[in-house]
Amino acid sequence: MKPALIFDLDGTLWDASVQVAESWNIVGRKYFGPDYFVSDEVVRSLMGKTMQEIAIALTPENANPEIIDDFVDECFYFERVYLQDHPGVPFPGEIDALLDLKKDFDLYIVSNCQSGYIENFLNIVPEGLFLGHRCWSDTQKEKHHTIRLLMNDFAVEKAVYIGDTEKDETATHLAGLPFVFAAYGFGTAKSPEATIHSLSELKDVTLDLIKGLA
């Protein structure tokens, strides 16, 4: 069995912040009027957080408590629908880099998103590029639980996680894996095992990290 590379999605494999902001604004204006606005910068700051944390950030402080659940549910539902026809954008050189990585590694995705979101990304990359994925909806727990679930489900023995935020870093270490920080993404990291500025740098970095795993 090949060693595995497990990727975060937003800020690591694609940038869908503009499209997600557009979808949330369409729903928000339906519930709260024409002044409702979420910028793509705000969306980037929310990527990697749990669904509950994002729901709180999206809801205006003076919102009627009776409609909040419907608003949040519709935001997350419509986001998935909107991305089907308005997908995010992979990072420059990404597809070629992933195809090269697949020669030596099995590729997976773990993201703090809802069911159906990762599938919108998979629809725009070569079929079979990734062997599997898991998301927050599969565990409704912190990300390290979802990482371990994927590893158990696919019998992954050796893996490295690649993400772009401190929350990714924390989850990776709690899952017992080395963390590669995607510095081209949306966030920061404190003490990653390695840092890359494009996916083309990942192969050499991960080969060294994999060699160090028991």
Span 44-97, pLDDT tens digits: 999 877 778 898 999 998 888 899 999 999 999 999 999 999 999 999 999 999
pLDDT beyond 70 at 214: no
Residues 56 and 152 in one domain: no
**pLDDT attached to residue 99:** 97
pTM, whole model, 2 decimals? 0.93
Domain of residue 171, residue span: 4-15+90-211
* Number of domains within the chain: 2
Can you give the three-state secondary structure of the chain, one letter per residue?
CCCEEEECCECCCEECHHHHHHHHHHHHHHHHCCCCCCCHHHHHHHCCCCHHHHHHHHCCCCCCHHHHHHHHHHHHHHHHHHHHHCCCEECCCHHHHHHHHCCCCEEEEEECCCCCHHHHHHCCCCCCCCCEEEEHHHHCCCHHHHHHHHHHHCCCCCEEEEECCHHHHHHHHHCCCCEEEECCCCCCCCCCCEEECCHHHHHHHHHHHHHCCC
Residues 100 and 127 in one domain: yes
Last residue of a domain, one of 30, 65, 85: 85
Residues 40 and 59 in one domain: yes
